[in-house]
């Protein structure tokens, strides 16, 4: 119970958290000082930026060397790092970040792996466990751009990958997905069946832009807006009744009200990156304060009471989460819009 008399506690991936507000992967969680500021402001857990499959594959030979050196040392993180001095690569730096984050903050630290292909790199996840991560988030960020590869085969490989990762490590595994599956619902349930402990909905892809002067294609990252919250809101609202595993709501959480919406739809935690990049790490406290105020005004004593209170099967109008009333909505918007224009 917090000093406000409101119980913000929640459970995510089997981990007990003081509040449902988590700092998702981004530049601040990769910087130890900013990471500590996020936690000081109330972040209940932190996800580190991703380590990429490509980075790991690149260093497979070195990793093989590590595995042979340390084949008996798993579970003994303290003895691990001194012996790999000199192994100064991206992979090594990531392990060091995990360990330093673990030492610096007293909330769960989630390490993040980005990868989509089954391969030797998966063994690397065990090193994250050794380095002290409390959980692993598998970030399935990929663009299905090859017309010769079907959606079915992509999804089958990804589900197998999740199953293999879950077998490989003892840590809980969350899977961060995009909203671009032909059936988000079937894929999320597939993740649960594959052994995942949680699903993060959703990652947010950067989109290319064209510079009309130079005709260069530019890879630009733009921060999210609260409007984008409606995508995870829909899917969390629909999927809560089918998922026993944890759900993290991600994309568009900028305020306490945004957090309240995703919790009501059924999220166990909400995650935020853009809002803290825009407003600074201290913004986590602003989101928490806004959530507490909303709960007090609406007479919710705990996050547990709120969670899923407006999921699809509990909502006054369940169809609003789906396509139903699409025609009605379009008609209402059109007549209101044209009416305002005429005035």
Ligand X SMILES: Cc1cc2nc3c(=O)[nH]c(=O)nc-3n(C[C@H](O)[C@H](O)[C@H](O)COP(=O)(O)O)c2cc1C
Report the interface residues with ligand X, using CB under 6 A.
24-27, 49-50, 112, 139, 176, 203-204, 221, 223-224, 250-253, 272-275
Cβ proximity to ligand X, 26 vs 190, nearer residue: 26
Distance in angstroms (rounded) separating the CA atoms of residues 154 and 143: 10
Cβ proximity to ligand X, 219 vs 327, nearer residue: 219
Q: How far is the CB of 225 from ligand X (least distance, A)?
A: 8
Q: How many CB atoms lie within 10 A of CB 314?
A: 15
For residue 85, the 8-state DSSP code is: T
Distance in angstroms (rounded) separating the CA atoms of residues 215 and 203: 28
Distance in angstroms (rounded) separating the CA atoms of residues 92 and 77: 14
Q: How far is the CB of 294 from ligand X (least distance, A)?
A: 18
Cβ proximity to ligand X, 17 vs 175, nearer residue: 175
Gap between the terminal Cα atoms of the chain: 52
User: Helices (H), strands (E): how many in the chain?
Assistant: 14, 12
Residues 96, 132 contacting (CB under 8 angstroms): no
Residue 199, classed as helix, strand or coil, is strand
Cβ proximity to ligand X, 110 vs 154, nearer residue: 110
Q: How far is the CB of 114 from ligand X (least distance, A)?
A: 6
Torsion angles phi and psi, residue 85, rounded to 5: -55, 140
Cβ proximity to ligand X, 220 vs 336, nearer residue: 220
For residue 120, the 8-state DSSP code is: G
Q: How far is the CB of 252 from ligand X (least distance, A)?
A: 5
Q: How far is the CB of 200 from ligand X (least distance, A)?
A: 7
Distance in angstroms (rounded) separating the CA atoms of residues 166 and 115: 14
Q: How far is the CB of 79 from ligand X (least distance, A)?
A: 29
Cβ proximity to ligand X, 19 vs 203, nearer residue: 203
């Amino acid at each position: 119970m917090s000093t406000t008399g409101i119980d913000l506690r929640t459970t995510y991936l089997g981990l007990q958290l003081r509040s449902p507000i988590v700092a998702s992967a981004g530049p601040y969680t990769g910087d130890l000082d900013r990471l500590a500021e996020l936690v000081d402001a109330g972040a209940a857990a932190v996800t580190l930026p991703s380590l990429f499959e490509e980075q790991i594959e690149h260093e497979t030979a070195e990793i093989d060397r590590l595995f042979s050196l340390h084949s008996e040392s798993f579970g003994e993180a303290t003895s691990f790092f001194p012996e790999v001095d000199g192994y100064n690569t991206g992979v090594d730096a990531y392990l060091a970040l995990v360990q330093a984050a673990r030492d610096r903050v007293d909330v769960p630290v989630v390490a993040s792996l980005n990868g989509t292909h089954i391969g030797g790199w998966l063994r690397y996840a065990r090193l994250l466990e050794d380095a002290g991560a409390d959980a692993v988030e598998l970030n399935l960020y990929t663009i299905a751009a090859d017309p010769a590869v079907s959606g079915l085969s992509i999804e089958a490989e990804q589900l197998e990958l999740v199953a293999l990762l879950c077998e490989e490590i003892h840590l809980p595994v969350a899977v961060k997905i995009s909203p671009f599956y032909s059936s988000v619902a079937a894929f999320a349930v597939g993740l649960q069946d594959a052994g995942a402990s949680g699903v993060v909905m959703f990652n947010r892809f950067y989109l290319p832009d064209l510079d009309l002067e130079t005709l260069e294609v530019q890879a630009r990252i733009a921060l999210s807006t609260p409007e984008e919250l409606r995508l995870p809101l829909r899917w969390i609202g629909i999927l809560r009744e089918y998922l026993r595993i944890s759900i993290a709501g991600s994309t568009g959480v900028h305020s306490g009200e945004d957090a309240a919406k995703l919790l009501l739809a059924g999220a166990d935690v909400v995650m935020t990156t853009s809002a803290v990049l825009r407003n600074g790490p201290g913004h986590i406290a602003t989101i928490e304060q806004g959530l507490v105020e909303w709960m007090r005004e609406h007479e919710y004593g705990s996050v547990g009471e709120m969670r899923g209170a407006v999921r699809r099967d509990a909502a006054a109008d369940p169809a609003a989460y789906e396509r139903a009333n699409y025609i009605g909505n379009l008609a209402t918007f059109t007549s209101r819009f044209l009416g305002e224009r005429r005035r």
